[in-house]
Each structure stands twice: as structure tokens, then as C-alpha cells.
Amino acid sequence: MNSNIIHRFILPIALLGLISAQTVALNDKTITILKDEVVLEVRGLVCSFCAVGLQGGLSSLKYVDKKKYNDGVFVDVEYQYAVIAEKSNQDIDIDEAITMITKSGYEVLSVYTNRTGEKIEVRKFEAKKDEK
Amino acid sequence: MKNSAFSLGLIGTLVFAHQPVMDMAPRWSGGYGFQVRYESFGSDLTIHEKDILSSYFQQTFWLEGIYTWHRSKRITFKLPYHMIEHQDSDFVSKANSFGDLIVAMPLKKYSNFKRRTQNFGFTPQVRIPLNQEITSASGYLGGGISLSYSSESFSFYQLYDVFGWMYSEKDPLLGLDINLGIHPYHDNATNTGLFAIWDVTARWQESSTTILTGPVFMPYRQNIMARAEVKFPVIENGKRPQLSKGLFMNVGIGFVF
């Protein structure tokens, strides 16, 4: 009986709590930030065909786990964010990723990491009005 | 009136103004791409009189390329290979040859907004004849300027392009292209999708006005994008007898790296 209660109620609630602690709301979408991933909110990232260039650039970064997603990078053009998968216990150079995204003609508004697996860290950037 | 000059001068001016690759990419510094296109148009219908036994059909293969050294500065080329079949009464001529090389330098100013990106474009371009012979489609030295605006959100795409060309041996040309479309399908996992667009193509010369319109479909997958379009003439008039442009078809495939 006790075991049934644990499985049916307590465990799901505990898992839900754990998951909700590891999520952020990005452009009206809830995204889970995993331990070995970096999530970047990218303004202007709506051109799906252009996203290929961004994917290619980010994939070439050191310590990207190319076994995940498309060569280690997932781009969502509907909600305007990119996810970079990192190799286990090896961190990508986030500043290099930001430079690459900026060179592709977009703006990084925020970067989310979850290095410990327990706490999400956020870096926010001020949006430029426009770019040349 | 049935000499070849009237039809040659008037039908071979359907300038395809879009820039590779499909007006969209590459947007990133150091990106490059190329595309090949096949286009055809022509008819045996005159827009003034029904009694001229004449016809003009043109097919062109285009090799086009682009290099983006900065997202605001690009250089493009377009090299055509024309296949023209022309008939005036009993006289039939067929000609296959490379046409005029077009080199352009699109300059763009991008702005990113929440869930939308846009750019204003200014594109100086030159048309360089590769051989001495003047035909309906080639042999004209020219210079052109294009002003464009493009905006894209996840669901909608729009492009407006106004341009003008001055030529050494024929009337100047003014053009307007409008593309309004939707983005009905996209899969983030594979970067595969489709644009469905309505195209309006207007061309004005001293001797003629032409407006064509029709649907465009642009599927893409990763770094490959295709464009297929069919356009119908809705307005064709001019001061002199001339042939209708007929049905315009264009299919192409482009690659970016």
C-alpha cells in the first residue's frame, strides 16, 4: 500500500519538482536545461535556411558532443534558441559561441547553463537596437 | 513589321532579379554558395495582333554563386546559357550560347526583432557581355541598381525589390518584384521545411509593360534549398507589336556552406 502511494504520488511529484527546477521559460516555451548543455536565446533566429550556417559554426567548437542533435547543435527557429551539447565534463567556450552567433548576424540575449546539474546559471545581454 | 528586331528587342528582357542563394543565404561571414536554375518562357502569341506568324521560346540555364565576407557585404555572379528558338514567318533560327555575365554586390543592413528579422538591401550590379554578337538575350553592357526590403518571421516571409538597369544598346528597364509567403512547415530536428510564396514580377521599358504573377514553392533541407515557380502574364502591353512572354517557369537548387 505504502509502496503504491510512493510510486503513484510522491515519486512523480518529486520528479516534477526536480524537472521544474531545471527549466526556464523562453519565448513562451518551457525548456529543460540539462547538465551537459548550453542553451542560448538568440534574437533574429527565424530564418530556418540561415540556421544551417549557425549550426555549422557552433558544431565546430571544441568539446561539442557531435553524437547529439545535428552534429551537437539543435536550433529552434520558432522559439529562437540554440542548444549546444557538450562532451561529458568538458565545457565549450561560451564566449566563442557568442562571437560565432554574432558573426552570423544574430544577437545573443541570454545564455543558460546547468554545470552542476542542480542550479541553472543565466547570463543576460542587452539587446542592440539593430546591427549592420 | 515582321522583322526579327521587334520580337528580339521586346521579348528577351525578362530579367530575373533575385540573388543567390534564393535571396536568403548565406548570411554568415565567410559563407559561400552556388545554385543552378533552369528557366523558360516564350510564346507564339502577339499582344496586339493575331496575324503575325512568329514565335519566340527561350530556355536558360543559370550558374550562380555567392560569397559573403561579412553579413552586410556579399558578392554574387550569374552566368546564363541561353537556348533560343525563334520563328518569323518561314524563317526559323536556333541559337545556343553563353549570355551576359551579371556581377552584383548586395549590401545589407540587418535588424533583429523579437521573433522577426529584416534587412534593407542596396545592390549595385553590372552586366558584362561575354561575346560580341547581339541577340535577344545577350550582348548588352549594362549597369543596374536594386533597392530591396525583406522581412521574415517564423510564419511569414516578404520581399520587395525595386531595380533599374541601363544598357548600352537597348531601352532602360525598371522592375519590381514582390514575394509574399508563408512558412507552413518546419522541422527543427532535421532543419527541413517549406516556404509557399506568391510572386509578382513587373517590368517596365519604354516600349513595353509586363506583369507576371504566380506561385513559388521553396523546400529546404539542411544546406540545400530548391525553388520552383510558374508565372502567368496578367498585364502585357506596349507601343509596338510584340510577342507575349507566355508561361514563365523557373526551377532551381542551391547549396550553401
Handedness of CA B194, B67, A56, A104 (dihedral sign): negative
Q: What does the mean pLDDT of chain A come to? A: 83
B157 against B25, higher pLDDT? B157
Taking an 8 Å cut-off on Cβ atoms, the answer to whether A49 and B114 are in contact is no
| % of chain A with per-residue pLDDT over 90 | 52
Number of domains in chain A: 1
Give residues 58 to 87 of A whose Cβ lies within 8 Å of B.
69-70, 74-78, 80
For residue B144, give how far its alpha carbon lies from the nearest alpha carbon of chain A (Å). 23
Taking an 8 Å cut-off on Cβ atoms, the answer to whether A130 and B117 are in contact is no
What is the count of residue pairs from A and B with beta carbons less than 8 Å apart? 99
| pLDDT at residue A19 is higher than 60 | no
- A33 touching chain B per CB within 8 A: no
| pTM tops 0.90, yes or no | no
Query: Is A29 within the bounds of a domain?
Result: yes
Confidence of residue A21 (pLDDT cuts 50, 70, 90): low
Residue B9, pLDDT score? 46
Question: Average of pLDDT values for B116-123?
Answer: 95
B40 against B238, higher pLDDT? B40
Query: Is A114 within the bounds of a domain?
Result: yes
Q: pLDDT digit string (tens) for B142-159?
A: 999 999 999 999 999 999
CATH number for the domain including A120? 3.30.70.100
Among A101-110, B119-128, B160-169, B224-233, the range scoring the smallest mean pLDDT is A101-110
Query: Is A109 within the bounds of a domain?
Result: yes
Question: Average of pLDDT values for B195-218?
Answer: 94
Confidence of residue A128 (pLDDT cuts 50, 70, 90): low
- B153 touching chain A per CB within 8 A: yes
Alpha-carbon span A107 to A6, nearest angstrom:
46
User: Residues near B94 by Cβ (< 8 Å), separated by ≥ 6?
Assistant: B83, B84, B85, B86
Query: Does ipTM exceed 0.85?
Result: no
> Is A114 strand, coil or helix?
coil
Q: Which CATH class is domain B4-256?
A: mainly beta
Alpha-carbon span B127 to B103, nearest angstrom:
7
B255 against A22, higher pLDDT? B255
Rounded to 10 deg, the angle between the A51-59 and A94-103 helix axes is 150
Q: pLDDT digit string (tens) for B30-86?
A: 899 999 999 999 988 888 766 566 889 999 999 999 999 988 999 999 999 999 998
Taking an 8 Å cut-off on Cβ atoms, the answer to whether A55 and B191 are in contact is yes
> Is A76 strand, coil or helix?
strand
What is the domain range of residue A103? 24-124
Query: Is A120 within the bounds of a domain?
Result: yes
Q: Which residue of chain A is at minimal alpha-carbon distance from B28?
A: A104
Taking CB atoms and an 8 Å cutoff, what residues of chain A touch B186?
48, 77-78
Domain boundaries, chain B: 4-256
Alpha-carbon span B20 to B110, nearest angstrom:
17
